[in-house]
Amino acid sequence: MAKEDFTLGMKTERMTDIALSFKKTGTLLAAIEMELFSHIAGGAGTAEELGAAMGVEAEKADRLLTACKAMDLLREVDGRHVNMSDVERYLVKGGRTYFGDYLTYITRRDYANWDHLADDLTAVPDGDGRDERSYLNYLQDPEEARRFTVAGYEASIGLGHKLAKEYDFSRFGRWLDIAGGSGCYAIPACERNPSLRVTIMDQPNVILVAREFIAKHGLQARIDTMPGNFLETPFPGGHDLASYITPLQGYMPDEIIAVLRRSQDALKPGGEMLIVDYMLEDDKTGPLDPAFVNLAGVRRGRYLGRVNTGAEWCDFLAQAGYVNAVSRWFTPHQLGLITAQKPG
């Protein structure tokens, strides 16, 4: 008779932790939606005070607080709860770097797809798949587009400041920011480079929201907007920089190459193409976040996008007619930065 392995629970701890990670997601979303962290920042510190602020019984507040402490989101000091530093910075409403709305929006929108991933991978494709494409779906609804664009601004304005600091925009006078979203990349770049002028091209409902952010920063004279779909809309010419910052992982290589080839119309001879997007290691061992984005590019058996390696991005640009393509990591374990020039 085989001996029972009493260490089985310890051996399976890693798999169990991965499988039950949804509990952490649910706890975090509840805390954000009930504004727990904002109430703590506002001075409420006990279960009784926080329960009253959130409109629930103290016992329920205490259970949520216990879970958040176990997740290292909070700590308790002299009987009062305090946000951890990253929570205070990113999950307190009204703060300049708040992105709680983005987390709740993107998680609520995408979770169901992950719950049925096996079905997506094993499904036999039908139709043309266009109804699955995000740009041909939720951005057509004005309210959904507003939620998406505002959430995207919250999530990406920090990335925009990093790009403005590390990428030399001073070399350029006119930039076409294709699929530029809320203006979260153009705004910091213009604030650091007084001679730079930008045109943001994106879906009409996105552009309406982008104009609000542009006006808020007083940059209407230097940032123009252009409604359009980069798959179909003719590009205005005369730019010395054009960019795609994170939309292209939603497309397959043949589509990407065709778009990049057509995008040369936007550039002067010698002009630069800038791509910032999810990127895999050349041996495809990770990183984890791009690997997840790549996996999510399959819906109902159809390929609706792909995350590429740096070498693949450079090859796409070469096939599209660009020269001097180079890639590097921009944010560790997530985004690559790829540049190339239009010949001439």
* pLDDT over 70 (residue 116): yes
The reply to whether 101-341 shares the fold of 8-93 is no
Average pLDDT over residues 286-297: 94
- CB of 140 closer than 8 Å to CB of 204: no
Residues 6+ apart with CB under 8 A from 303: 252, 297
Residue 123, judged by CB atoms within 10 A of its CB (0-12, 13-18, 19+), counts as middle
Mean pLDDT of the 249-272 span = 96
The type of residue at 320 is A
Q: State pTM to two decimals.
A: 0.86
What is the architecture of the domain spanning 101-341?
A: 3-Layer(aba) Sandwich (3.40)
Distance between CA atoms of residues 79 and 214, nearest Å: 44
Residue 188 confidence (pLDDT) above 80: yes
Helix (H) or strand (E) holding 319: helix 310-319
pLDDT of 8 = 54
Using the predicted structure, report yes or no on whether residue 285 has a pLDDT greater than 90. yes
pLDDT of residue 2 exceeding 70, the answer is: no
Question: Which architecture, in CATH terms, is 8-93?
Answer: Orthogonal Bundle (1.10)
Which pLDDT band, with edges at 50, 70 and 90, does 307 fall under?
A: very high
Confidence of residue 5 (pLDDT cuts 50, 70, 90): low
- Mean pLDDT within 106-133: 78
CA distances from 325 to 167, 204, 261, 312, 338 (A): 16, 31, 14, 11, 7
Q: So what's the pLDDT on residue 11? A: 73
For the cut 70, the answer to whether the pLDDT of residue 172 exceeds it is yes
Tens digits of residue pLDDT in 190-217: 999 999 999 999 999 999 999 999 999 9
The share of the chain scoring above pLDDT 90, in percent, equals 76
Q: What is the CA radius of gyration of the chain?
A: 23
Nearest 5°: phi and psi at 306?
A: -155, 140
pLDDT score of 148: 87
Between the alpha carbon of residue 133 and those of residues 106, 282, 303, the distances in Å are: 15, 27, 10
Given a cut of 60, whether residue 155 has pLDDT beyond it is: yes
Q: What is the model's pLDDT at position 136? A: 55
Domains of the chain by residue range = 8-93, 101-341
Identify the weakest region by mean pLDDT among 130-144, 204-218, 296-310: 130-144
What DSSP designation does 234 have?
Answer: P
The whole-chain average pLDDT of the chain stands at: 92
How far is C-alpha 293 from the geometric centre of its chain's CA atoms? 10
- Please name the residue that has the structure tokens 């076409």: 176
d(CA 167, CA 338): 11
In sequence order, what DSSP letters do the residues of 2-16 get, joined into one string? PPP-TTHHHHTHHHH
- What is the pLDDT at residue 304? 87
Mean pLDDT, range 152-168, rounded to an integer:
94
Average pLDDT for 89-101: 91
